[in-house]
Amino acid sequence: MAVWIILNASAYMRPWDPYPFIFMNLIFSLQSAYTASLILMSQNRQDRLKAHNDYLINLRTEEESKAVLDNFAAQNRALEEIYEELSAIRSKIEENA
């Protein structure tokens, strides 16, 4: 880019793109147009991959949460059985006393 500007501004050679450098701006505009579309497609692909990974992580988290809740439910049932047995023992002790 610097060589382009120096050769055209210094008139060392016959300038093919005088000072406002319209042709150079056209080339950069075309380059940015196709580069932007490639970047957007790449980001879209990355977003889809990220969304899929997030889905898998959420699915795994849900499975782990269900396992923890099932464990809590089993503990509650065990505690209820222990409480019922203690209540039965207490009522037998009160009947004998």
Pair 7, 15: CB distance under 8 Å: yes
Q: 13: which 2 tokens? A: 């050679």
- Render pLDDT for 10-42 as a digit per residue (tens, 0 to 9): 766 677 777 777 888 888 899 999 898 888 888
pTM over 0.75: no
Domain count of the fold of the chain? 1
Q: Which domain holds residue 50?
A: 2-96
- Render pLDDT for 45-84 as a digit per residue (tens, 0 to 9): 888 888 999 999 999 999 999 999 999 999 999 999 999 9
